[in-house]
């Protein structure tokens, strides 16, 4: 089985590629550093030539509506066209749990468009929606800062370690396509404010953390359970507390 990982130098792409190589798969690492630009289409046909499976973990850091929507439309169009031409038999894309409840936000709305393009492509596919990853919570928590106070919305999350999410994605990609949306999540749900408090305590960050029922999650008004998965297919085992303890221990050693 030959697998093309698109976005292979990003955090998730590099983890997925390492797991696949460890397990003996023939993989192509596709990224701008290897001459593949999914947005412009440069090198895409070459990267997907002979591939049986495509794992699409492309992403953009832009949260502006035009840029983000344009990015996912163009990258998805280029990748799906090349995948069809190459005879790809399984197209897997990484998305976000509850993305359909987050359409007030430009980025998540663009991710939903990406999902729709994949479903409409005619290719056998799996859309793997993941909950938030532990590694991203510093940014998630910082996004709630208002005048040096973290005003955290009243929502619950069920995060997962990126390594475990990467392992689940490789398992899904090397299995038969589900032709549906599947969900990946962590072993337990927490109040977001609990994670914020734990992160700031571990980092010795003196900013106060306030639970604010009027606060929004990246501009989106949500119910308390609005970020939780509805039907998890793959569940991680590492808890947030264990991950944070290990991460801080590694930093201390470094």
* From 51-65, 87-101, 191-205, the region with the lowest mean pLDDT: 51-65
The predicted pLDDT at position 234 comes to 80
pLDDT in tens, 142-155: 999 999 999 999 99
In order of 194, 230, 236, 252, the CA distances from 158 in angstroms are: 12, 11, 10, 27
Residue-wise over 144-161: b if at least 16 C-beta within 10 A, else e?
beeeeebbbbbbbbbbbb
Percent of the chain with pLDDT over 70: 95
Domain of residue 196, CATH code: 3.40.50.720
What is the C-alpha to C-alpha distance for residues 15 and 20, in angstroms, rounded to an integer? 9
Q: What is the mean pLDDT of residues 97-107?
A: 94
Nearest to 182 by CA among 228, 130, 141: 130
Average pLDDT, the chain: 93
At residue 67 the predicted structure's pLDDT band, cuts being 50, 70 and 90, is confident
Question: What's the sign of the alpha-carbon dihedral 8, 94, 49, 27?
Answer: positive
Domain total in the chain: 1
> pTM of this prediction?
0.93
pLDDT in tens, 162-190: 999 999 999 999 999 999 999 999 999 99
Whether 23 shows a pLDDT value over 60: the answer reads yes
pLDDT in tens, 198-254: 999 999 999 999 999 999 999 999 999 999 999 888 889 999 999 998 887 655 434
Assign 63 to helix, strand or coil.
coil
Q: What is the mean pLDDT of residues 133-138?
A: 95
Domain residues for the domain of 18 are 2-253
């Amino acid at each position: 089985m030959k697998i093309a990982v698109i976005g292979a130098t990003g955090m998730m792409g590099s983890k997925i590629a390492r797991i696949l190589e460890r397990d003996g798969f023939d993989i192509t690492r596709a990224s701008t550093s290897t001459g593949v630009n999914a947005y412009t289409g440069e090198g895409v046909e070459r990267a997907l030539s002979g591939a049986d499976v495509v794992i699409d973990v492309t992403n953009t850091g832009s949260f502006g509506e035009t840029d983000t929507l344009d990015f996912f439309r163009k990258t998805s169009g280029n990748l799906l066209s090349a995948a069809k031409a190459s005879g790809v038999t399984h197209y897997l894309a990484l998305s976000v749990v509850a993305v359909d409840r987050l359409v007030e936000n430009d980025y998540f709305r663009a991710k939903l468009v990406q999902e729709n393009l994949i479903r409409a492509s005619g290719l056998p596919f799996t859309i793997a929606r993941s909950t938030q990853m532990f590694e991203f919570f510093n940014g998630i928590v910082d996004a709630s800062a208002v005048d040096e106070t973290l005003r955290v919305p009243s929502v619950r999350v069920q995060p997962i370690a990126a390594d475990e999410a990467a392992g689940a994605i490789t398992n899904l990609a090397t299995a038969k396509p589900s032709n549906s949306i599947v969900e990946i999540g962590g072993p337990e749900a927490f109040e977001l404010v609990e994670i914020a408090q734990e992160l700031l305590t571990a980092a010795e960050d003196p900013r106060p953390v306030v639970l604010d029922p009027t606060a929004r999650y990246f501009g989106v008004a949500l119910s308390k359970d609005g970020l939780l998965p509805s039907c998890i297919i793959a569940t991680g085992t590492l808890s947030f507390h264990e991950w944070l303890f290990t991460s801080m221990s590694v930093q201390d050693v470094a």
